[in-house]
C-alpha cells in the first residue's frame, strides 16, 4: 500500500509547522464548506497555485485541478510532483536535493567536495548574510539565509556519506541545545530581561560543556576566528571576572596611552607588539559602548570603497591622475563623496 499523509480539514488548518512531504500524496478529508477558503489559502501558501489536487467532480470521476483554481470539495488529495515542477519546497526537499547532487550520477562539482574544501564557504556566506541585514534588503536576506543553511546541510550530507553524522543529527543537536539552554523557558528559571536570559543561557552552557574554570571558557573561543573577533570574545569573557574599566572614559585613556607607546616603540618587533596593544585597547572602548567591531569596521570599509570609487570617477571626468601629487584634489572629492554617496 502506498504511503500518504492524512489530515482532517481542521487539523490541516491548525498545523503550525509548514513542512509537508511533497513526495507522497497528502490527503485532506472532512473539509467543511465554511473552512474551505482557509484550507485553500494554506495550500496556496505552502504549495503554490500551480500544484495540483485530485478531486471528485460532479460526474463522480477523479479530476486533477490546479490549487489556484479549486472550488469547494470536502476531500482533496495533493499530488506529489517532481522537484523541477514545484513552486515551493520544504526543509526535507533541501536535504534530498543535496543528496541527489552527491549521487554517483550527480553534479561533478558537488560530488568532488569535502568538509575541508567547503570550509571557507560558510564564513563567506555568513558575511554576505550580515551585509544583507545591514542593508535591510529582504530579498537578499532570504537568499543569504538560505545560503548559510545550505552550507550546514552540505557539511552534514558529506559527513553522512562518511558515517560521521547526518542532517537529522544536526537538527536533533540544535533542538536539544535550544531546549536545554533556555532554562528560563523550558525549566524553572525566570528571566526578567534579556541580560538575565543570556546569563541563564551561559550557565546552562557551562554545565553542558563541563567548564571547570576560566581557562575552559577562554579555550572555547575558536582560534580560527579572525583576530578582531577572537580578541572581542576574550574581552567579554574576562570582564565577567570584574577585570574591566569602570567606564568608557578609562578605556579611552588606555587608547591614548597605547598610541603613545606605539609611537615611541623601537624596531619592527616592538612596533608590532604595541600596535596589537593599541588595537586591543580600541576594542575595549567599542565593547563598553556596545559596538560590534566586526560590523563597525566592515561598514567603514564599505563606505571607504564607495567614496574612493567616487573619487576615481571624478578623476576620469576631470582628467587628473590618482597619485600623491594630486592629494588635495583627491581629498576634496573624497569629502564631497561623503555627502553624495554616504
The domain locations on the chain are 5-85, 91-165, 169-209, 210-291, 294-340
3-state secondary structure of 5: strand
Instruction: Tell me the pLDDT tens digit for each residue of 108-147.
Output: 999 999 999 999 899 899 989 988 998 899 999 999 999 9
Residue 98 pLDDT more than 70? yes
Q: Looking at the domain covering 91-165, what would its CATH class be? A: mainly alpha
Instruction: Tell me the pLDDT tens digit for each residue of 163-175.
Output: 999 999 999 999 9
Question: 57 versus 277: which is more confidently predicted?
Answer: 277
210-291: CATH topology is Helix Hairpins (1.10.287)
DSSP state letters, 25-62: -EEEE---GGGHHHHHHHHHHHH-TT-EEEEE-TTS-E
CB of 96 closer than 8 Å to CB of 160: no
CB of 310 closer than 8 Å to CB of 332: no
Q: Which residues pair with 62 in a beta bridge?
A: 56
pTM here is 0.66
Residue 191: burial class (beta carbons within 10 Å; 0-12, 13-18, 19+): middle
Write down the pLDDT at residue 45: 86
Question: Which is it for strands 52-56 and 62-66: parallel, antiparallel or unpaired?
Answer: antiparallel
Instruction: Work out the percent of the chain whose per-residue pLDDT is above 90.
Output: 68
Write down the pLDDT at residue 1: 43
Residue 58 pLDDT more than 60? yes
Write down the pLDDT at residue 289: 96
Instruction: Tell me the pLDDT tens digit for each residue of 259-287.
Output: 999 999 999 999 999 999 999 999 999 99
Mean pLDDT value across the chain: 91
CA distance 75 to 79: 13
Write down the pLDDT at residue 17: 65
Does 91-165 match 210-291 in CATH topology?
yes
> What's the half-sphere exposure (Cβ side, CA atoms, 13 Å) at 244?
17
Write down the pLDDT at residue 197: 94
All residues at 6 or more sequence positions from 293 whose CB lies less than 8 Å from its CB, including other chains: 228, 229, 232, 283, 286, 287
Write down the pLDDT at residue 213: 82
Instruction: Tell me the pLDDT tens digit for each residue of 64-91.
Output: 999 999 999 999 998 887 787 777 788 8
Write down the pLDDT at residue 208: 87
CA distance 31 to 38: 10
Cα 204 to chain centroid distance, Å, stands at: 23
Measured at the alpha carbon of residue 15, what is the angle toward residues 10 and 16, in degrees to the nearest 5?
145
5-85: CATH topology is 3.30.950
Instruction: Tell me the pLDDT tens digit for each residue of 209-262.
Output: 888 788 888 888 888 888 999 999 999 989 988 999 999 999 999 999 999 999
The stretch 53-63 carries a mean pLDDT of 85
Residue 198 pLDDT more than 60? yes
CA distance 331 to 322: 11
Amino acid at each position: 500500500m502506498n504511503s500518504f499523509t492524512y489530515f482532517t480539514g481542521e487539523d490541516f488548518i491548525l498545523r503550525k509547522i509548514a513542512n509537508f512531504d511533497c513526495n507522497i500524496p497528502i490527503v485532506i478529508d472532512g473539509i467543511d464548506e465554511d473552512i474551505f477558503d482557509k484550507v485553500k489559502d494554506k495550500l496556496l501558501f505552502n504549495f503554490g497555485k500551480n500544484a495540483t489536487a485530485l478531486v471528485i467532480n460532479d460526474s463522480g470521476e477523479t479530476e486533477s485541478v490546479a490549487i489556484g483554481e479549486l472550488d469547494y470539495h470536502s476531500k482533496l488529495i495533493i499530488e506529489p510532483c517532481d522537484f523541477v515542477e514545484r513552486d515551493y519546497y520544504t526543509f526535507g526537499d533541501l536535504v534530498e536535493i543535496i543528496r541527489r547532487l552527491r549521487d554517483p550520477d550527480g553534479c561533478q562539482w558537488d560530488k568532488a567536495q569535502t568538509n575541508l574544501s567547503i570550509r571557507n564557504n560558510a564564513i563567506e556566506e555568513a558575511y554576505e548574510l550580515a551585509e544583507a541585514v545591514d542593508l535591510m534588503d529582504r530579498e537578499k536576506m532570504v537568499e543569504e539565509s538560505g545560503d548559510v543553511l545550505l552550507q550546514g546541510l552540505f557539511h552534514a550530507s558529506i559527513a553522512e556519506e562518511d558515517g560521521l553524522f547526518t542532517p537529522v543529527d544536526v537538527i536533533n543537536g540544535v533542538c536539544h541545545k535550544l531546549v536545554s539552554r533556555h532554562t528560563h523557558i523550558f525549566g524553572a528559571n525566570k528571566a526578567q530581561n534579556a541580560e538575565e536570559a543570556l546569563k541563564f543561557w551561559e550557565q546552562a552552557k557551562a554545565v553542558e560543556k563541563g567548564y571547570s574554570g576560566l581557562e575552559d571558557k577562554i579555550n572555547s573561543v575558536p582560534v580560527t576566528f579572525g583576530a578582531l573577533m577572537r580578541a572581542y570574545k576574550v574581552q567579554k569573557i574576562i570582564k565577567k571576572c570584574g577585570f574591566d574599566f569602570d567606564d568608557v572614559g578609562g578605556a579611552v585613556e588606555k587608547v591614548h596611552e597605547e598610541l603613545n607607546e606605539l609611537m615611541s616603540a623601537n624596531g619592527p618587533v616592538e612596533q608590532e607588539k604595541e600596535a596589537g596593544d593599541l588595537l586591543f585597547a580600541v576594542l575595549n572602548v567599542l565593547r563598553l559602548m556596545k559596538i560590534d567591531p566586526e560590523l563597525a569596521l566592515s561598514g567603514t570599509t564599505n563606505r571607504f570603497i564607495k567614496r574612493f570609487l567616487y573619487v576615481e570617477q571624478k578623476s576620469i571626468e576631470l582628467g587628473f591622475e590618482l597619485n600623491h601629487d594630486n592629494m588635495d584634489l583627491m581629498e576634496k572629492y573624497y569629502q564631497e563623496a561623503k555627502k553624495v554617496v554616504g
